Amino acid sequence: MKPIEIAQTAYAAYREWMARGDAGDSPPSWGELEEAAQCAWLAGIRAAFEVVAEETGKRLEGDGE
């Protein structure tokens, strides 16, 4: 998954959580929210590395993409 896709997935999980709460339904578990937050955090780090790679012309070691 690309960083933007991970961030979009995390945001979608947050929006679902908010929508369920607004509807009076049970929101996703805290575990699901924690997983979404971790995905967003990792996507941010990956995006930062990609910016550095573009600016320096060097890729991350072991980067298979």
Annotated domain spans of the chain: 3-56
- What are the helix (H) ranges across the chain? 3-23, 30-56
Residue with token string 């509807």 = 23
- How do the pLDDT tens digits run along the chain, 65 residues long? 677 777 777 777 778 777 877 667 666 677 877 777 787 777 777 777 777 778 888 766 655 55
pLDDT of residue 46: 78
